[in-house]
Chain A
Amino acid sequence: MARQSDDTPAASLVAIGLSGDEIEARLAEATAKVVLVEPDPARAASIEAHYKGRPGLIVIAAAVANEAGQADLSEFNLSGLRSLHPPTPAMKTRIPGLCVTARHPVQVITPEALLAQAGDLPRPAHLRINAAGCEYVILQGLQRAGALERFTRIWVRCGAEAMFEQARDSATVQHWMQSRGFSLAEVDETDPDWPELCFRAGPVSSDLPVTQHKLAALEQRLARASAELEEKDARLNMLEAMLTLAQADLATARRMQAVAQADLHDLQERYKRSEKTRAEQSDLLQRLTPCLQLVAQQLRSLAEEDKAGGQEKSVAVQGELASDREPGNIRAVSPDHSMRKDET
């Protein structure tokens, strides 16, 4: 946003409660629009009548306070001093003999209503407040309405102490304005009891609504980002825990694999040895079998020869026996013959 320099004349001015001798000067202060707020309806009417037809001039006949309605405006025996509120003991101490000289029922509007009646305020806009006892609430009201930052310069006349009920001393007002981004440009202490504080909008104050809006948006984003971050942190923690578990599982699996590999290697070695033995056995049996076959064949041949020999002998013996059985031809049979006979 482009900033106005201090010397740039105001395009608009809102002046709340001006003394009669400064009206001309204030009317010359703004080039486009001047809003004069005068609580005394008679005086307001007089001003309006006097400057009737002046372009850009708006006269509002009302006092400005927190609550809209009717109130009594007291005039005191001190030149130009008027207020909607009773004076404080501090005021009476500072100005002995202070007394009310007149009271006027006046219309009271809120700062929001004032802004509505003032309408558009071309920038740069100035604000002057001379409303004894009501300065602080007017400033607060404007701030609540988001309008305080529209003004590049603000003059506030207020008591060095809280002179009226609901009023604040100048130090409190100064502190409050500074906390809103305004800097104190100068102080007119011509009347030390009623200094006039002049504030200048700081780089912060004019940008404050935008900044606040941005800040709110950023805070929302931050909140969302924080929530997302928390969610991601939680997920990360969960993933880290899972990773730790997985790493532990992997380490265990690797070691189990080492054990299984050792088992497998052992079995393979044993299998290899047993295969070697089996091959040796097979080879040996391959060579042994024909040898045994031959031996068996020889034994079978021997047995068959033995059997054939036995049968021939048996036939011969039977022949002999037959001849022996003939009368007068009997002889003894040898045990060897009898055994052979049994065998056959």
Chain B
Amino acid sequence: MQGAPFADNLRRSLEEALYLLKDYAGDQLPDARLIESLPSLLEQCNALCDRIPEAEPLRAVHHMACSGGTLISKCLSVMPNVTLLSEIDPLSSLAMWTKVNGRKFAPTDVIYAARTALRPIDGETTERVFQASVTALHEALCEKGQRLVLRDHVHSHFCTQVDFARRPTVREMLTKYHPVLSVLTVRHPLDSYLSLVRNKWVQFAPFSLDEYARRYQAFLDRHDDVQHFRYEDFVARPDSVLRELCTELALPFVAGAEDLYSLVAMSGDSGRKGNRIGTRPRLEVSEEVEGQAERSRAYARLCDNLGYIADTN
């Protein structure tokens, strides 16, 4: 009893399909003896569909401040068709107001304007605007064959006075709407802490190595599904580690980034000067920091988790 409607529906679907395939149809009805078997053709169709790549993912790079992230991000920037946005965090509360004029001049920044308006938008709205703009940008870049990489401003989240546990990470915001490929780069926490001190980026309290290690660990915990890469390995074998980073981010790799990365102007360029990648000596460790390193369990645990030796030499 159900055969006729099914056949009818099948016929209608076939007619529709044939309408779409009209450019492939001949004028004469084909000779049935020359036709391949339908199941075989359909299997081939399925196989071909399986080989078609999925939509471009979003990519993100995460690292603490002063951990060599700018250098790594610059090298990623010169990979083919990469558009890398540096130090992105729509919820950042840093540098919202200037001492002289109060509000910054930022005519292209809708989120900033809305967050500093008379009736400022809340975090949820900020996140929505962020999502919309990233989506629009990502789609526009995909149309041009480009790949969007966001460099997260982790310092805003984990190293300021905001309650880092109560707000979403940039990666969490992105993964709500997009597939995201992420990598996380780390550096010996003592080195990044010493650079933080030298740059006077003291934006959390109590400002100590122990508290820094606690926040660093919190950052790692919130990105526990993301693969880590060590800055020290990168400066020792730039091309090799960069290739691994590209593989993880599904980016094409081109050797010789060291010759090109100085083309990239990037915010957060606080440390390395010069155009060659190489190991730099550790900054001087004060007795106070040395004492903190010896006493801090959080620091010892963090170094252990990251595979570093918790010494100060």
A binding-site residues for B, Cβ under 8 Å: 252, 255-256, 258-259, 262-263, 265-267, 269-270, 277, 280-282, 284-297, 299-300, 302-303, 306, 339, 343
Q: Flag B61-90 by CB within 8 Å of A: 1 or 0 each.
A: 000000000000000001111000000000
In angstroms, Cα B80 to Cα A259, docked, is 7
B205 at the interface (CB under 8 A from A): no
C-alpha spacing A302/B15, complex, angstroms = 15
- Of the candidates A256, A280, A289, the one whose C-beta lies within 8 Å of that of B263 is A256
Q: Verify if B26 is at the interface (C-beta below 8 Å from A).
A: yes
Which of B36-44, B132-140, B206-214 lies at the binding interface? B36-44
Q: Does B95 contact A (CB under 8 A)?
A: no
B contact residues, total (Cβ < 8 Å) = 38
- Contacts A256-B263, A292-B21 hold; do A265 and B7 have CB atoms under 8 A apart? no
Of the candidates A252, A269, A294, A296, which one forms a contact with B32 in the assembled complex, judged by CB atoms under 8 Å apart? A294
B96 within 8 A of A: no
Tell me, rounded to whole Å, the shortest Cβ–Cβ distance linking B7 to chain A: 6
Q: Please tell me if B162 contacts chain A, counting CB pairs below 8 Å.
A: no
Instruction: Determine whether the beta carbon of A284 is less than 8 Å from that of B48.
Output: yes
Q: Mark B1-22 against chain A: 1 for CB-CB distance below 8 A, else 0.
A: 1001001101100110110010
For B263, the closest partner residue in chain A by CB is A255
Write out the residue numbers on chain B whose beta carbons fall within 8 Å of the beta carbon of A297.
29
Q: Does B309 belong to the interface (CB within 8 Å)?
A: no
Asked if residues A290 and B48 are in contact (CB atoms below 8 Å), the reply is: no
**Which residue from chain A places its CB closest to the CB of B22 in the assembled complex?**
A289
* Contact between chains at B48 and A281 (CB < 8 Å): yes
Of B1, B17, B81, the contact of A292 (CB 8 Å cutoff): B17
Asked whether B10 lies within 8 Å of A265 as measured between CB atoms, the reply is no
Q: Is the CB of B38 within 8 A of A291?
A: yes
Q: Is A293 within 8 A of B30, CB to CB? A: yes
State whether A290 and B4 are in contact (beta carbons under 8 Å apart), knowing that A255-B263, A258-B260, A295-B14 are contacts in the complex: no
A300 to B41, CA, bound (A): 22
Instruction: List A contacts of B29 (CB < 8 A).
Output: 293-294, 297
Q: How far is the CA of A291 from the CA of B7 in the complex (A)?
A: 17
| One of A267, A270, A294, A343 near B30 (C-beta < 8 A) | A294
Across the interface, which residues of B come within 8 angstroms of A292, CB to CB?
Answer: 14, 17-18, 21, 38
B81 touches A267 (CB 8 A): yes
Is A289 in contact with B18, judged by CB distance below 8 angstroms?
Answer: yes
The answer to the question of B25 belonging to the interface, with a C-beta cut-off of 8 Å to chain A, is yes
Q: A262-B80, A266-B81, A277-B48 are in contact. Are A290 and B38 (CB under 8 A)?
A: no
Give bound CA distance, A263 to B260, whole Å: 13
Which secondary structure dominates where chain A touches chain B?
helix
- Shortest C-beta distance, A287 to chain B (Å), equals 6
A256 to B260, CA, bound (A): 8
* Residues A291 and B263 in contact in the complex (CB < 8 Å), given A263-B80, A302-B7: no
Question: Could you pull out 17 A-B pairs where Cβ atoms are within 8 angstroms?
Answer: A255-B263, A258-B259, A262-B78, A262-B79, A262-B80, A263-B81, A266-B80, A277-B51, A284-B44, A284-B45, A287-B41, A291-B35, A296-B14, A297-B29, A299-B14, A306-B4, A339-B1
Q: How far is the CA of A302 from the CA of B10 in the complex (A)?
A: 12
Known contacts being A266-B252, A284-B41, is A289 close to B25, with CB within 8 Å? Answer: yes
Q: For B25, list chain A residues within 8 Å (CB).
A: 289-290, 293
* From B4, B14, B24, B256, contact of A285 by CB (8 A): B24
User: Complex formed: what's the CA distance from A258 to B263 in Å?
Assistant: 11
The smallest beta-carbon distance between B169 and chain A, in angstroms, is: 30
Q: Which of A265, A289, A294, A299 contacts B21 (CB 8 A)?
A: A289
Q: Is B254 an interface residue (CB 8 A)?
A: yes
Bound-complex Cα distance A302 to B18 (A): 18
Q: How far is the CB of A340 from chain B (nearest CB, A)?
A: 10
Say yes or no: is B52 at the interface (Cβ < 8 Å to chain A): yes
Residues of B within 8 A of A285 (CB): 21, 24
Residues of B within 8 A of A287 (CB): 36, 41
Q: A265-B80, A289-B18 are in contact. Are A296 and B11 (CB under 8 A)?
A: yes
Q: Does B268 contact A (CB under 8 A)?
A: no
In the complex, what distance in Å separates the CA atom of A163 from the CA atom of B145?
107
Question: Does B80 contact A300, Cβ atoms closer than 8 Å?
Answer: no
Which B residues are in CB contact (< 8 Å) with A295? 14, 38
Q: A266-B81, A267-B81, A288-B42 are in contact. List 15 more A-B contacts (CB 8 A).
A: A259-B78, A262-B78, A266-B145, A281-B48, A284-B41, A286-B24, A289-B21, A290-B25, A291-B30, A291-B38, A293-B18, A296-B18, A299-B11, A299-B14, A343-B4
- For B81, what are the chain A residues with a Cβ–Cβ distance below 8 Å? 263, 266-267
- Residues of B near A277 (CB, < 8 A) are 48, 51-52
Instruction: State in angstroms the CA–CA spacing of A293 and B42 once bound together.
Output: 14
A237 to B77, CA, bound (A): 36
Task: For B44, list chain A residues within 8 Å (CB).
Answer: 284
Taking the closest CB of chain A, its distance from the CB of B227, in whole angstroms, is 23
Chain B residues contacting A286 (CB-CB under 8 Å) are 24
For A263, A265, A277, the residue with the greatest tally of chain B CB atoms inside 10 Å of its CB is A263
Q: How far is the CA of A48 from the CA of B198 in the complex (A)?
A: 105
A288 to B260, CA, bound (A): 49
Which A residues are in CB contact (< 8 Å) with B45? 284, 288
Minimum CB–CB distance from B174 to chain A (whole Å) comes to: 23
A255-B260, A280-B48 given; A290·B26 CB < 8 A: yes
Least CB distance, B80 to chain A, in whole angstroms: 3
